[in-house]
Structure 1
Amino acid sequence: PAAVTTAGEPLVRLGRQLRLLAAEAAATLGGEDVVELPVAVNADSLATWLRPVLSAVARTPGVALRLRVEDQAYSDDLLRRGEVLAAITGEPDAVQGCAVVPLGRVRYTPAAAPWLVDAHRRGRSVDWQRLPMVVFNEKDHLQDEVLAARRATRPPVVHRVPSTADFHEAVRAGLGWGMVMDPQLEPDLAAGDLVRLPGARPVDVPLYWQRWRLDSPVLAAFTDAVLTAAAQCLRPLA
């Protein structure tokens, strides 16, 4: 399929920047232009701490949010290509033409259903090479980090469940072990639906907010809402 060349990417960014500023100016002058706000977010953020931001957009008339769901390790590419105005990313270095602000870190803990852990116990640990595993999609390598720390490789059975809510439910159902976010894990630990995998440590994922350097009231207001939500829900990056 047709694709923008590397030389053409700056022109695409310029065109989309001009379209945003023109729509905001027309709306300010009383026009009926709709300001489109394309933003890249990772699925876990969208399903948890980012929800209050949607409420903030809902109270802003004339703004159409265009969300692109992308893993935080890859979303900075969308900024480089000019496909989004802002992104939640794992990249701390600013993309050319963008400003970057640290958001915080999300903690993921290796967890599984109690009966699944009991079925694969090996002494004080588990049989990592046989314990079934759940991943979000082909870009999800969080589980692989845990395996590497245990000097293990992926087991024969690896399930893919590309939905944050359904991924959580798959782990709870015993389909396999997976990396579960703290907001989802804590109630399940208390209820006995999940247990931490013995001998495995949590993984903290740092998140950053990158946005185009534009004098855009809509983008500035959206950025403020994102930073407020992150400050309330995420662990500090210290």
Structure 2
Amino acid sequence: MIPAESLATLQAVVDEGSLDAAARALHVTPSAVSQRLKALEQRLGRVLLIRSKPARATPAGEVLLRLARQQQLLEREALAELGLDEARGVELAVAINSDSLATWIMPALHRVAERTGVLLDVVRDDQSDTAARLAAGTVMAAVTSEAAPVPGCRSVLLGRMVYRASATREFAARWFPDGVTATALAVAPVIDFDRRDDLQTRFLRSITRQRIDPPRHRIPGAADFADAVRLGLGWAMLLDHQLAAHPDELVELAPHKPLEVPLYWQQWDLRSASLDALADEVRTAAAAALV
């Protein structure tokens, strides 16, 4: 058996970012934290922690971190079922992509919080990276573009978000007078959400079948991103409702080339009333909002 105290110590170090901060959170000395971690590593024969700033779990440590959070969740749910005061504030950490947060998922989060009383710790990340947070044990569930279940998790298709290359009428007339050609795409300014956003690049390759590098702006905010397109800063992939919200200002550059991004719900594969309630609300909302 792995001592619960050891798991709690590992979790505190990762959550707080350092041994000193974990010691303060646990009300023990830094030496005690270090000794607990060393004893656990020796017991398992594995290095569990990368002592960087902030401290990070190794792959072996991620397995134990996930176990620690699962045990914590189940304990809190059990206390809640018994009606004990200590159970107030069951927390669910969830990784969700920006476009889902900005569009369809917030009502689902509100409903589950109202229905169950859980507290939600939402981490915003790109849909291609949210599953990594699940694998690392830092979240309990994720909206992700990854279909393959993370080890110890289950995965279900939520639906697809449809993106369309969009720009203002004036921008399209200026930069694409002869249509959306490879030559025009190579020089027309494009807007990315951040350096990890590859939607525009995927569209470019689908049209040109080659690697091109047009001028790029980066606007890391869902509402600001759409506003930047609407103001003519560049072209970008927008969702249907974002395009339809400004029919007199925005046009679709290539109606025959929409880009579909499948979204999956992945969560820990354990019996948890809180997680299952969240999953039910997310699937219901997705069925109404996604294709």
Aligned: 1:95 with 2:153: no
- Which sections of structure 1, spanning at least 5 residues, go unmatched? none
Q: Which residue of 2 aligns with 1:187?
A: 245
Contact 1:92/1:100, CA 8 A, preserved across alignment: yes
Aligned: 1:37 with 2:95: no
Cα distance between partner residues in 2 of 1:121 and 1:54: 41
* Offset of residue 199 of structure 1: 7.1
Contact 2:74/2:272, CA 8 A, preserved across alignment: yes
Aligned: 1:4 with 2:60: no
Q: Which residue of 2 aligns with 1:47?
A: 102
* Offset of residue 62 of structure 1: 3.6
Aligned: 1:85 with 2:144: no
Deviates more, 1:24-33 or 1:77-86: 24-33
CA 13–119 in structure 1, closer or farther in 2 if over 3 Å, else same: same
SS class of match (2:246): helix
Cα distance between partner residues in 2 of 1:227 and 1:198: 31
Q: Whose helix fraction is larger, Structure 1's or Structure 2's?
A: 2
**Percent of matched pairs sharing the same residue:** 44
Contact 2:109/2:282, CA 8 A, preserved across alignment: no
Deviates more, 1:49-58 or 1:211-220: 49-58
The one-character-per-residue Cα deviations of 1:1-52 (angstroms, maximum 9, x if unpaired) are: 2210111111111000000011111111112321010000000001111122
The one-character-per-residue Cα deviations of 1:76-97 (angstroms, maximum 9, x if unpaired) are: 1111111111000111111111
Cα distance between partner residues in 1 of 2:235 and 2:114: 40
Aligned partner of 1:135 among 183, 188, 192: 192
When the two structures are superposed, what TM-score results if normalisation uses the length of structure 2? 0.77
Say which one has the larger Rg: 2
CA 199–102 in structure 1, closer or farther in 2 if over 3 Å, else same: closer
When the two structures are superposed, what TM-score results if normalisation uses the length of structure 1? 0.93
Cα distance between partner residues in 2 of 1:211 and 1:142: 25
* Offset of residue 161 of structure 1: 0.8
Q: Which residue of 2 aligns with 1:232?
A: 288
Q: Which residue of 2 aligns with 1:123?
A: 178
Cα distance between partner residues in 1 of 2:96 and 2:180: 35
Aligned: 1:161 with 2:219: yes
Amino acid in structure 2 at the alignment position of 1:98: C
- Which sections of structure 2, spanning at least 5 residues, go unmatched? 1-52
More relative contact order in 1 or in 2 (CA 8 Å, sep 6+)?
A: 1
